[in-house]
Amino acid sequence: MDRQVFRAHSGAMETFESLVRAEFAPKNVYLNTASSGLLPARTVTALHRAVRMRAEGTPLGPLYEDVEVVRASFARLAGVPVERVATGASVAEYGGLIAASLPAGAEVLTAEGDFSSLVNPFHARGDLKVRAVPLERLAESVRPDTALVAVSAAQSADGRVADLPAVRAAALEHGARTYVDASQAAGWQPLEADRYDFLAAVGFKWLLGPHGVAFCVVPEDFGGLTPLLAGWVAGEIPWDSCYGPVEDLARSARRFDISPALFTYAGLRASLELVEELGVATIRAHDLALADRFRAGLAPLGHEPVPAPGSAIVSVPRLGERQPALSAAGIEVSNRAGNLRAAFHLYNTVEDVDRLLDALSA
């Protein structure tokens, strides 16, 4: 498999591996990106620079510029115009806006056991009909009275990948809208956000940024959302919207922004530059090759993972209790619902996979 990445750096060609080595030097076997990703060296440098600006009293204009650079970078990864991307702090924030846009009694179809930040805002409304079905039956469960289908692109608990094309087709057939949480997919899976009404994702997992930023892609007509959380940054000219009601909201999805965590954007700008430099297709091939190696290595040990073909997340039933011992041995994984969850990303290696398999065989 050719995993070479071309990079304009003194006219040299760097391989995927050498570029990754320049950015990451984990002190342990880190297989927990589904919880949070590692920070690249360039991101750490950017964070230090931003902190120094605050400490020295330097004007913060460049940090606000980072917000727009990050927005544009995510728009490219999502495959949508930048005007459709809002930036905030959490997926739940945008779920709340989407939930608030639905009429009382509307049906929201979800997958059983999906992540709480996705589903809870619809339950919190109190007057919506939230129906949960097994993930594999999601598309066939859309019916004429379904107003919205909300699902994660990849399940947090076990890595199962939703059949999003089937969900989209069923939603179109019945006049329902679609809302995809791509937090466990953005960075290793193509997003194709234009195919769905709403798509949200956090920036601290596979996108390798600090905590504190989430994105939401909204329709060009805003999909009926009301900017309930709008403050001064949501104005068409933010610095003219600092006092009193915001009279002139941004003509773009920026009307759904909240006041930015500037340090986080400074770091995330550098992280997204790396993701774009490497390319999602290259990252995906690397991640899936490692995940498949782990799945294959489990069989001789007598373990069968949760079926999740095409996922960078592998979940092994009944092994979650081994997480503390693995952590003590320098191997970081998660315990989710009693399952051992390993998540493979660009800084992981074949040696990492084999070390985990060796530990599980003991």
- C-alpha to C-alpha distances, 142 to 86, 92, 108, 173, 178, nearest whole angstrom: 28, 23, 10, 9, 11
For the record, the structure tokens of 211 come out as 């905590």
Q: What is the mean pLDDT of the chain?
A: 95
CATH class of 4-40+277-361: alpha beta
pLDDT of the residue at 25 = 93
Q: Residue 348 pLDDT more than 80?
A: yes
Give the residue extent of every domain in the chain.
4-40+277-361, 61-276
pLDDT of the residue at 15 = 82
Q: Which residues lie closer than 8 Å to 74 by C-beta, 6 or more apart?
A: 85, 201, 203, 215, 272
pLDDT (tens digit, 9 = 90+) per residue, 71-102? 999 999 999 999 999 999 999 999 999 999 99
pLDDT of the residue at 309 = 96
- Name the CATH topology of 61-276: Aspartate Aminotransferase; domain 2 (3.40.640)
pTM for the predicted model, two decimal places = 0.94
Task: Return the residue matching tokens 């945008």.
Answer: 94
Q: What are phi and psi of 207, to 5 degrees?
A: -90, -5
Using DSSP's 3-state secondary structure scheme, residue 305 falls into coil
The whole-angstrom separation of Cα 344 and Cα 351 is 12
Q: Residue 5 pLDDT more than 60?
A: no
The whole-angstrom separation of Cα 218 and Cα 47 is 29
* Residue 340 contacts residue 333 (beta carbons within 8 Å): yes
pLDDT of the residue at 353 = 98
The percent of residues in the chain predicted with pLDDT above 70, rounded, is: 96
pLDDT (tens digit, 9 = 90+) per residue, 254-306? 999 999 999 999 999 999 999 999 999 999 999 999 999 999 999 999 999 99
The whole-angstrom separation of Cα 189 and Cα 134 is 22
* Nearest partner of 151 among 198, 96, 99, 211, judged by Cα: 198
pLDDT (tens digit, 9 = 90+) per residue, 8-60? 443 333 688 899 999 999 999 999 999 999 999 999 999 999 999 999 999 99
List, in sequence order, the alpha helices (H) in 149-227: 164-174
